[in-house]
Chains A and B, each alone.
Chain A
Amino acid sequence: NAGVMQNPRHLVRRRGQEARLRCSPMKGHSHVYWYRQLPEEGLKFMVYLQKENIIDESGMPKERFSAEFPKEGPSILRIQQVVRGDSAAYFCASSPMNRGYNSPLHFGNGTRLTVT
């Protein structure tokens, strides 16, 4: 199955630690989106990347959060000095470079971050 792979599925961090969330897009996909979902809420757009380039990061908090999608390897969402309010499910979705007009985003299973 060459779907969108996220790891880890569950991540527990203490306040002040760093969290690294990984996303490998579907084979052939070069664009990655990151969304955050708080319990019983919708998905909030964070960042949209293609390989080696951030296209839109208007949904990213200005501090402590960063994202990258290197030429080789997965996309990484990094949260420094985590706080309890960062606890959420983080979903990654991917699409091909030329997203066909009829093509939806393909989502991974998410990483559930718990900050204690």
Chain B
Amino acid sequence: AQSVAQPEDQVNVAEGNPLTVKCTYSVSGNPYLFWYVQYPNRGLQFLLKYITGDNLVKGSYGFEAEFNKSQTSFHLKKPSALVSDSALYFCAVRDHTGRRALTFGSGTRLQVQP
């Protein structure tokens, strides 16, 4: 069975500082990894994905994530946080088999203070 762990319920960071939201995963074989963001009363918006290739992937709104196979991690990062980045962030995984459904982590609330 596949699973995702987001160890922090909330991350607080000052505007302009770098941010990291942590994610580790468990899956059989090679993973497909995703980050989504959810703003209040909205659906999940796709940010970025790792399929294969470069371990550092870049996505929307200046976010990037680094795939680390040995540590089974896929941490979300941004060099300089904005107040508007405050939202709920979900990491998700699926494997390379026919099962297409994503398994999500519990979510991390990012709070960026002015």
To the question of whether A and B form a pair in one complex, the answer is no
Which B residues have a C-beta under 8 Å from some C-beta of A? Answer: none
